[in-house]
Amino acid sequence: MPGRSAGSAGSGGKPAADVRRAGPLIVTEDLALLDDLLRLCAAAGAEPEVHHTVPDDRASWADAPLVLVGDDAAARCRGAARRQGVMLVGRDHDDPDVWRWAVEIGADCVLRLPDAESWLVDRIADAAEGAGRQALTVGVIGGRGGAGASTLACALALAAARTGRRTLLVDGDPLGGGLDVLLGGERAEGRRWPDFAASKGRVAGGALEESLPSVRGLRVLSWDRGDSVLVPPEAMRSVLAAARRRGGLVVVDLPRRVDEAVTEALAQLDLGLLVVPGELRAVAAASRVASLAGMVLRDLRVVVRGPYAPGLDDQWVADALRLPLAGELPDDPGLLSTLDAGDPPGSEVRGPLGRFCTEFWERALAPEGAS
């Protein structure tokens, strides 16, 4: 449904406000301040615990992912166990005692509303989601039309899911026919891109993940079968940032054109793979794509797909494009029959495509410095 914001996305069609994560402990008797903090927690997709003073249950203070102490309650929090993640929050910018109170309760910082609202929403969301290592994010782009970028993106996502890691496949090409179709999951329940087109600001990563269709062990963000919907760059930025915060692996299938939304996607990639068939015209077309993508993406590598025109090989193509060689994708005569049988690309683990993807992730996920 176009126009629905990502802030309303939840599992099973429920709004994201119903998908709550354990939120901060709030300590205040200031009702106006409490209203503001509850509003910020709702924006972050978190369910807070509220007390007027340090709770009798010590675990509530010690185990909360974040503690927000109103400046009215600072004196009542003296003597509480020292811990990280305590923030003193208020509105009076001119109160000279606030810094002394912050030291007395061991606060990490002093926040003044409304100036710090945006920053605080991010911290609440990070704490509620358990902010950790961001997802390794890999984008796949076709060097020319029909190069097989969508096929490779799906196969990479399936191979990633087989490693047991959290995996999200993002369809960034509204004219590509839908990666959910390629995976055989077009009827799977969940949100599609039109539901996120109005997204601005922060999207809760947990709510995003739970709202998406689950297909073959991974989550898929694709398109519905309705009219084409424009995804603004703000929505692309918000959604991909939320996906990355969840950790694991994210694979993004991107179109050959580079508009504002694609630029946002490229900026969030750790690695880009340019799929180029082994033929001269494909190399010529890919050079233009590489030039545009390379203006944003720092790490772009080429995947060369056979069969080859006479005199060409994978290294020749990589050298011609002046890009590092990510690998050779051999010709797979059985791929069409696999797709015709209703199986997604890369589902045959021992086939050329499956082997390529398995080896790619083994290299990409190897500890730094490992041979």
When pLDDT is averaged across residues 264-290 and rounded to a whole number, the result is 97
Closest Cα to residue 140, out of 160, 119, 120? 160
Distance CA 279, CA 271 (A): 24
DSSP calls for 74-93? TGGGTTPPP-S-EEEEES-T
State which H helix or E strand residue 170 sits in. Answer: strand 167-171
Distance CA 327, CA 314 (A): 8
Share of the chain above pLDDT 90, in %: 70
Of 92 and 289, the structure prediction assigns the larger pLDDT to 289
Distance CA 291, CA 228 (A): 27
Please check the confidence at residue 35 and state whether its pLDDT lies above 90.
yes
Residue-wise pLDDT for 147-198, tens only, equals 999 999 999 999 999 999 999 999 999 888 899 999 999 999 999 999 998 8
DSSP class of 298: S
Distance CA 273, CA 290 (A): 10
Distance CA 238, CA 371 (A): 36
Q: What is the structure's pLDDT at 368?
A: 55
DSSP class of 14: -
When pLDDT is averaged across residues 307-315 and rounded to a whole number, the result is 95
Degrees to nearest 5, angle at CA 130 with 68 and 125: 50
Please check the confidence at residue 8 and state whether its pLDDT lies above 60.
no
Of 271 and 335, the structure prediction assigns the larger pLDDT to 271
How many helical (H) and strand (E) elements, i.e. helices and strands, does the chain have?
13, 13
Q: What is the structure's pLDDT at 91?
A: 87
Q: What is the structure's pLDDT at 21?
A: 62
HSE, CB side, 13 Å, CA atoms: give it for residue 332: 26
HSE, CB side, 13 Å, CA atoms: give it for residue 4: 14
pTM of the prediction? 0.73
Distance CA 174, CA 9 (A): 20
Q: What is the structure's pLDDT at 76?
A: 95
Q: What is the structure's pLDDT at 73?
A: 96
Report whether 339 contacts 371 (CB < 8 A).
no
Distance CA 187, CA 141 (A): 26
Tokens of 314: 């994978």
Distance CA 122, CA 174 (A): 30
In b/e form, how buried is each residue of 293-327, taking b as 16+ CB within 10 angstroms?
Answer: bbebbeebebbbbeebeeebebeebbebbebeebb
Assign residue 79 a region (left: φ > 0; alpha: ψ between -120 and 50; beta: otherwise). left
Residue-wise pLDDT for 348-357, tens only, equals 899 999 999 9
Mean pLDDT, all residues of the chain: 88
When pLDDT is averaged across residues 128-150 and rounded to a whole number, the result is 88
When pLDDT is averaged across residues 5-21 and rounded to a whole number, the result is 36
Q: What is the structure's pLDDT at 245?
A: 86
Work out the pLDDT band at 213, boundaries 50, 70, 90: very high
When pLDDT is averaged across residues 18-23 and rounded to a whole number, the result is 59
Distance CA 308, CA 305 (A): 8
Share of the chain above pLDDT 70, in %: 92
Please check the confidence at residue 86 and state whether its pLDDT lies above 80.
yes
On the 0-12 / 13-18 / 19+ scale of CB atoms within 10 A, 74 is buried
Question: What strands lie across the sheet with 67-70, from one edge to the other?
Answer: 46-51, 21-27, 67-70, 86-90, 109-112
Work out the pLDDT band at 270, boundaries 50, 70, 90: very high
Q: What is the structure's pLDDT at 131?
A: 57
Please check the confidence at residue 134 and state whether its pLDDT lies above 70.
yes
Q: What is the structure's pLDDT at 307?
A: 93
Q: Give the least confident one: 178-187, 242-251, 263-272, 332-341.
A: 332-341
Of 20 and 204, the structure prediction assigns the larger pLDDT to 204
Return the number of other C-beta atoms located less than 10 Å from residue 140's C-beta. 27
Q: What is the structure's pLDDT at 367?
A: 75
Q: Give the least confident one: 164-168, 210-214, 230-234, 331-335.
A: 331-335
Distance CA 80, CA 328 (A): 60
Could you tell me where the DSSP H helices lie in 246-351?
Answer: 260-267, 280-294, 314-321, 335-340
Tokens of 133: 């290592």
Return the number of other C-beta atoms located less than 10 Å from residue 275's C-beta. 26
Beta bridge partners of 47: 22
Work out the pLDDT band at 218, boundaries 50, 70, 90: very high
Of 265 and 131, the structure prediction assigns the larger pLDDT to 265
Q: What is the structure's pLDDT at 286?
A: 98
